[in-house]
């Protein structure tokens, strides 16, 4: 994915989550304010009922006898004497009726001593009231009144909105996870780009001296002195062969690094399977005298593929079957077709692959750890390249162990991509 598109996606995702979080916080704040207003209304109504009962229905107030002095502090004017026990009974009754289930404390003003007395702390659900040091300031303009305070009002309101707060907390966690995920993706992308740049620079640095070695070796191999000496000719041939092999590895690494950054440009065309694979087999047999390859492919089958990359796929599969065989390599290439598509199978008699390694053999730089693998030079890029080309053709590839010996590699060409 291009860095510009990635940045746009990251930014949009971050803005969306932050927007949702801000909206959630605003909704939570609004819900708290509504709950606070609702609580005050219920307290006012309950206290009005208490005043009505304490005055015996002879209420002569021209304005509300209840004053909300602070967020959790109320002063209630009575205009006549009342007994503390009766007050406490009415308070408990009305608060229970209006479902005001939070702790409260009250105090009564004694006009004779000019003090707030009889302060009690009431906990709903507990029979005994408690004494607690809570401040009840006097009200200068009233004679018979009591004050009530809700010290745990904030905690009570928050507990009634716990769903909103849990949802907000969950959104914050999601935002943190998103930010951490984005940070990890960016770090991985930087590492991938650094790795690709390193591979590009390294391989380019190798190619210059390698080209010089090849030129010098080929020139040396043409000299009469070398031609007349079979040993020297063998040595120069080894140098040339190994230089070509190294050059092939370098080109493969460069292609993989280049393909990671850009999608390959494919040129699909009709490829008849039997003659196409037969030509590859003939080329491989020239380098491997003991190789036995059996073809069981219908003559009229063909696929739409990029010839160059399809050739590389077939060559890589056959090359691996040959290299990872401890006896005389024998490979059977067969085809079969059903309603889903075409299957091209490569069955060999090699050393096989352990079941735990099969899911990873197409990973970049992955090599199965075996004694045979240690003897064979490679970078673990061949099958990675094969998988990449297969995916870009919208095909599928799979590998499974044979019941007797070796593995079977299957290329699947879906019917919508092929005609046979």
Measure the CA angle with vertex 176, ends 174 and 179; round to 5°: 110
The C-alpha atoms of residue 207 and residue 230 are separated, in whole angstroms, by: 29
* Residue percentage of the chain with pLDDT more than 90: 10
* CATH pick for 268-417 out of 3.30.565.10, 3.30.60.50, 1.10.510.10, 3.90.480.20: 3.30.565.10
The C-alpha atoms of residue 143 and residue 112 are separated, in whole angstroms, by: 10
- Mean pLDDT, all residues of the chain: 80
Of 77, 66, 95, 86, residue with least CA distance to 156: 95
CA 99 to chain centre: 46
Q: Which residues of 320-349 are buried (b: 16+ CB within 10 A; e: fewer)?
A: bbbbbbeeebbbbbbbeeeeebbbbbbbbb
Beta strand spans in 28-129 (E):
66-70, 73-77, 104-110, 115-122
Q: What is the pLDDT of residue 256?
A: 61
Mean pLDDT of the region 289-310: 88
The C-alpha atoms of residue 60 and residue 79 are separated, in whole angstroms, by: 9
Q: What confidence tens digit (pLDDT) does each residue in 104-151 have?
A: 888 888 776 677 776 666 666 555 555 555 677 777 777 778 888 888
Sheet containing 115-122: give its strands across.
66-70, 73-77, 145-149, 104-110, 115-122
- The DSSP letter of residue 417 is G
pLDDT at 418 over 60: no
Contact 351, 373 (CB under 8 A): no
pLDDT at 334 over 90: yes
Widest CA span of the chain, in angstroms?
136
Give me Rg for the CA atoms of the chain: 43
Query: Looking at the chain, how many residues does it have?
Result: 420
Q: Mind giving me the DSSP string for 275-332? A: HHHHHHHHHHHHH-TT-EEEEE--TT-EEEEEHHHHHHHHHHHHHHHHHT-SSS-EEE
The C-alpha atoms of residue 247 and residue 252 are separated, in whole angstroms, by: 9
Q: What confidence tens digit (pLDDT) does each residue in 187-215 have?
A: 777 777 776 676 666 666 777 787 778 78
Half-sphere exposure in the Cβ direction for 203 (13 Å, CA): 20
Of 107, 217, 106, 101, residue with least CA distance to 160: 101
Contact 368, 324 (CB under 8 A): no
- The DSSP letter of residue 277 is H
Domain map (residue ranges) of the chain = 3-160, 180-261, 268-417
- What kind of fold does domain 180-261 have according to CATH? Helix Hairpins (1.10.287)
Confidence of residue 412 (pLDDT cuts 50, 70, 90): very high
Q: What confidence tens digit (pLDDT) does each residue in 337-386 have?
A: 888 899 999 999 888 888 888 888 887 776 776 655 555 555 566 788 88
Give the dihedral of Cα atoms 108, 126, 32, 99; nearest 10 deg: -90
The overall pTM is greater than 0.85: no
pLDDT at 331 over 70: yes
């Amino acid at each position: 994915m291009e860095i510009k598109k990635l940045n746009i996606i990251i930014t949009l995702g971050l803005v969306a989550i932050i927007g949702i979080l801000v909206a959630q916080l605003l909704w939570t704040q609004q819900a708290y304010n509504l709950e606070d207003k609702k609580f005050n209304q219920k307290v006012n109504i309950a206290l009005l009922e208490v005043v009505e009962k304490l005055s015996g229905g002879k209420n002569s107030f021209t304005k509300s006898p209840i004053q909300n002095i602070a967020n959790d502090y109320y002063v209630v004017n009575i205009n006549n004497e009342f007994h503390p026990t009766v007050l406490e009974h009415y308070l408990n009754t009305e608060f229970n009726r209006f479902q005001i289930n939070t702790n409260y404390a009250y105090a009564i003003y004694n006009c004779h001593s000019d003090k707030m007395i009889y302060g009690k702390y009431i906990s709903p659900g507990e029979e005994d009231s408690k004494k607690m040091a809570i401040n009840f300031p006097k009200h200068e303009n009233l004679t018979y009144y009591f004050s009530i305070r809700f010290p745990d009002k904030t905690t009570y309101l928050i507990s009634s909105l716990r769903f909103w707060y849990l949802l907000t907390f969950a959104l914050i966690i999601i935002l943190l996870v998103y930010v951490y995920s984005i940070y990890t993706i960016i770090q991985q992308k930087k590492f991938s780009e650094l790795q690709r740049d390193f591979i590009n620079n390294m391989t380019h640095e190798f190619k210059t001296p390698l080209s010089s070695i090849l030129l010098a070796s080929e020139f040396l191999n043409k000299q009469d002195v070398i031609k007349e000496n079979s040993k020297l000719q063998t040595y120069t041939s080894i140098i040339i062969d190994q230089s070509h092999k190294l050059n092939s590895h370098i080109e493969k690494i460069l292609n993989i690094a280049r393909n990671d950054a850009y999608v390959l440009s494919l040129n699909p065309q009709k490829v008849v399977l039997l003659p196409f694979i037969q030509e590859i087999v003939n080329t491989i047999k020239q380098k491997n005298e003991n190789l036995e390859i059996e073809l069981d492919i219908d003559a009229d089958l063909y696929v739409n593929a990029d010839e160059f990359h399809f050739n590389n796929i077939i060559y890589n599969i056959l090359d691996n079957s040959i290299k990872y065989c401890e006896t005389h390599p024998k490979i059977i290439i067969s085809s079969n077709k059903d309603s889903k598509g075409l299957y091209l199978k490569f069955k060999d008699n090699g050393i096989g692959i352990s079941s735990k390694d099969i899911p990873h053999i197409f990973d970049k730089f992955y090599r199965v750890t075996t004694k045979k693998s240690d003897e064979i030079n490679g970078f673990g890029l061949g099958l990675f390249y094969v998988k990449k080309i297969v995916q870009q053709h919208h095909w599928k590839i799979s590998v499974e162990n044979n019941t007797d010996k070796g593995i079977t590699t299957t290329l699947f060409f879906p019917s919508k991509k092929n005609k046979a």
